[in-house]
Structure 1
Amino acid sequence: MPYRAVRISLLAIAIFCGGCAATGDMAAKGTADAPAAPEFSDAAIAAAAWRTLPTEAFRGKRDDISFADPRHGWYGTGQGDLFATGDGGESWAKISSHPGTFIRALGFVDANTGFIGNIGPGYYPGVTDDVPLYRTDDGGKSWTPVDLGGAHVAGICAIDVLKTQSIYQGRLEPRTIISAAGRVGGPAGMIRSLDGGRSWSVIDMGPWTSMILDVHFFDAQTGFVAASSASDVKTANAQILMTRDGGAHWSEVYRADRPGELIWKMSWPTERIGYGTVMSYDQDNPHKVVIKTVDGGLSWTEMPFVEDGKAIELGIGFVDADHGWVGTSLGGYQTVDGGVSWTKAAIPIYANKFRVVPQADRSTAVYNIGTEVQMLAIEP
């Protein structure tokens, strides 16, 4: 798995094993009536400190960072530059540059194969590239446009890479599912591959939403998008949409009643517990919230976050059910009680994406990217 522990299809394993239970490292532990217990102690979290990694200076925020394993990672910029590390982020090198491309999202399957999402023209000045999704098979050095068969998607804001298993002739076989969706400002669309990128389908998301900012699938059929109801943010309401049939149909499972909002990013520490940032452009409203689900996304609850109208929420990342971080325009915040309370964290402004990367020594690395690139090493 490129940036999270491998998630196994529980249905496939149940069929194959005759009902035996198995989960990946980050899969749900618990039931609907008994939420998963924290995997990390408060002491372990308190002992860890965010460390800024050496990267090339960039004016503004960078949007995504992706790891294929504990050592191999990548991040991109709005100027089309792609950087790679082979030592867990201790050093970075520019490996390719595509002027006119805005690298908004990344998802790597392994150290060679990955996907690069471009936001597309018409939103940010200077973006001229209209290819929404690229594939690389040499670790990012060269890019090939993904063939969509003539279909069009305006741009990509998020990529989800799911490593699972399926049954083939009585055997469990590895399967990689890629879902890419966007975009901020609209229109909304999704690109999916159920076979590791050999073939693709395009889903027009316009009937259900106007913007997509994040995407997450648990298996081939069940997934969520972070969204907004209108392309004009002044009238937009924040949304979470859910599919049970691989994206053919979607239902709204959360919608805010305040204008000027969208769900920017999600974090799913288990299959039942998930969080989302509610980005608000209403600076007159000081009451900022995050949303949380404890029933696998069927319902969501708003939880008080910070009291500051200038706090624009961005990235969110949880290592377990209780411990997580949120990036904002004012800096980062941390919770150790599942979002009930938040305190300031040593995270720079505009942290846009968090990635949780299990390490070979049973420790966990958490990365964030925005105006800086940081790593938090949590010991077991």
Structure 2
Amino acid sequence: MFSKPFMRPLAAILLVAGFGLSQPAHGQTIETAAKQAIIIDYASGAVMMEKNADELMVPSSMSKLMTVYMVFDKLKTGAWKMSDRLPVSETVWKKHVKSGGSLMFLPVNSTASVEDLLKGVVIQSGNDACSVLAEAYSGSEEAFAEEETRRSRQLGLTRSTFKNASGWPEPGHMMTARDLSILSRHLIMDFPEYYPLFSQMEFVFNGIKQGNRNPLLYNTPGADGLKTGHTEAAGYGLAASIKRGNRRIVMVLNGMSSMKERAEEAQRIAEWAFREWESYALFKAGEVVVEDAEVWLGEVQTVRLAAKGNVEVTLPRRARAEMKVTTVHNGPIPAPIIAGTELGKIVVTAPGMAPLEMPLVAVDNVNRLGFTGRVSAALGRILWGSKK
């Protein structure tokens, strides 16, 4: 094996482009009053802080994000249009009129556009709007909840189970903070054309004006989503996203004691994440990392190796100088070589942190030498250590 160091030392958390979350560097933490919490870098997926992130919890209205995802997907595929009007059934109206939960105040036997219903869910947190969307989508809210659970597994939400479309308290309706962070990241990444809806400050429907309940929209620069939640069983929660410059963070907090504590904790932890952590782009997909990996019995003596995917790192600023980045590959690499074949890896190591790896792939095709050339190269290596 050849281990070849490159670049200057870095302290980093590395992620190949995708939705897997990497582990936080040890010792980088902040206390929080939240019972469950996670904060991640949007681009890299790096976890900057977590607390009971895989503990099942009552998500309250934060679970409405899954309903929004389902509707956004309908719109993106063209199955629904924003202007489509959906009926408000007597079943929906009776279910919510005396519930005491948050409402859009949809009149019975009326209709509302998909656009208005989405605003009712995102801005007003309307339970009735969720039920109307669910009935139109699946025929009943129960069937819709089952479909939400199936779809959530496809998105990587491994522990979430939905029993309704709104997050109204119901046995078995559970999520984790990590699942909510993954869902939030999907909403931003998969639907950039619809995501700005989350930053709308207020909405008027049926003569009733209601403001967005996300406290960060009012006092935190760069905040542009996503959803609050509150029930007696769960306490106060928030799934939020903040973008400053080229950097975005996603945060989920739950189990706080009041609206005031929720607002203060969310702002404090967000500022900590931007202050103490930084993100860096190391390589773009296809960027050459190794110029001259040795080839055995090939028509050329070396082959270039490149990063298979985009490589971003998110790291505590004070730890950056402690990281080492190396390349590792089996060598010499026998020909023939097909471009795109994985031939090695980038390895990132640092004290107190598990090694992180990313594939290296061949940039070029390399043909094998003919019989005479192979014999000559083999003899040359035996006699003189030739690289041919």
TM surpasses 0.5:
no
TM-score (norm 2): 0.25
Choose between structure 1 and 2: higher helix proportion: 2
Choose between structure 1 and 2: higher strand proportion: 1
TM-score (norm 1): 0.25
Question: Greater RCO between the two (CA within 8 Å, min separation 6)?
Answer: 2
Q: Which structure would you say has the larger Rg? A: 2
